[in-house]
Amino acid sequence: MSQTINCEGVKKLLGAWWDGELGGDEAGVVREHLELCPSCRSEAEKLERLHNSIREALKERAGEIRFDVFWAGLEKRIEEKRPWWARLADWANPAFGLGRIGWAISLAVILAIGVLSLPDSYRAWFFGSNRGRTRIESIDAHGFNVAVFREAQTRTTVIWLFSDEESNDEAQEESDSENLTL
């Protein structure tokens, strides 16, 4: 038992034994040796005093660390690193109290108002382009024939008035021979 390990061997294992890291058999051997060997026992006691002294010295140096102070410093650090828009959202959210859905609805309303307020040329981006197209809102030819058509290539709106019989005949010849869309 204790003959299986000498003092040199025990001293090498003393730290691990003290830390409880030795396996059952090995730990037993060291324990038995310590019971019988005053020199090694003294080493073990020194090790204990070393640990205690270091622990006490560092704890004294540490002093009291108040969590509220620690957290205040940490929280400040976290806050400083957040992007400005996240901080603005945090600031606004508790006061506004709408939550995400509330914000989404409000923003949708504002966006809708904004889009509807845009000039036609920009609104075309959203609703599809109707640019350049002239609209005939009402027409009264007072009994005369009239044709309204749009030239495809240049998108020009044309109102063609058939004001007398001669013009009617001309218009008839033209519409027979040409591709005019009515």
Partner 1 sequence: MMKLKKNLIRKILLFSLWSVLIAASGVVQAGQADGPKSIQLKIGTILASNEGKNFDPRLSAMKSQLNVFKYQSYQLLKEEAKVVLWKGNAAFEIPGGRSLTVTPQEYRDNRISLKVRLMKGDQSFLDTVVRLRNGGRFLLGGPAHETGVLILSIGASTR
Partner 2 sequence: MESSDQDLVDRCREGDQSAFRELAARYYQKVFMVALGILNHREDAQEVAQEAFFKAYTKIKGFHGRSSFYTWIYRIAVNLSLDVQRHRKRNPIEQTEAADPIEGEADRSSSEPYNDLCNQKLREEIFQAIDELRPEHRAVMTLRVLEGLSYKEIGRVLGCPEGTVMSRLHYARKQLQEKLGPWL
**Residues in contact with partner 2 by the rule CB under 8 A:** 12, 15-16, 19-21, 46-47, 49-51, 53-55, 57-65, 67, 70-71, 73-74, 77-78, 81
Distance CA 178, CA 158 (A): 15
Instruction: State the greatest distance between any 2 C-alpha atoms of the chain, in Å, as a whole number.
Output: 139
If one asks whether residue 96 binds partner 1 (CB under 8 A), the answer comes out as yes
Backbone angles phi, psi at 119, to 5 degrees: -60, 155
Examine residue 66 and tell whether it contacts partner 1 (CB under 8 A): no
Nearest CB to partner 1, comparing residues 3 and 154: 154
Q: Are 115 and 126 in contact (CB under 8 A)?
A: yes
When the beta carbons of 24 and 99 are compared against partner 1, the nearer one is: 99
Query: Which one among 3, 68, 77, 121 touches partner 1, defined by CB under 8 A?
Result: 121
What is the C-alpha to C-alpha distance for residues 29 and 5, in angstroms, rounded to an integer? 7
* Other residues' Cβ atoms within 10 Å of the Cβ of residue 51: 13
- Shortest gap between Cβ of 50 and partner 2 (angstroms)? 6
Looking at beta carbons only, is 13 or 180 nearer to partner 1?
180
Is residue 167 part of the contact set for partner 1 (CB under 8 A)? yes
Residues in contact with 74: Cβ distance below 8 Å, sequence separation at least 6, in sequence order: none
> Which of these, 127, 129, 164, 131, lies nearest to 145 by C-alpha position?
164
Residues interacting with partner 1, by CB under 8 A?
91-92, 94-96, 106, 110, 113-114, 116-117, 119-121, 123, 131-142, 144, 146, 151, 153-154, 156-164, 166-167, 170-171, 174, 177-178, 180
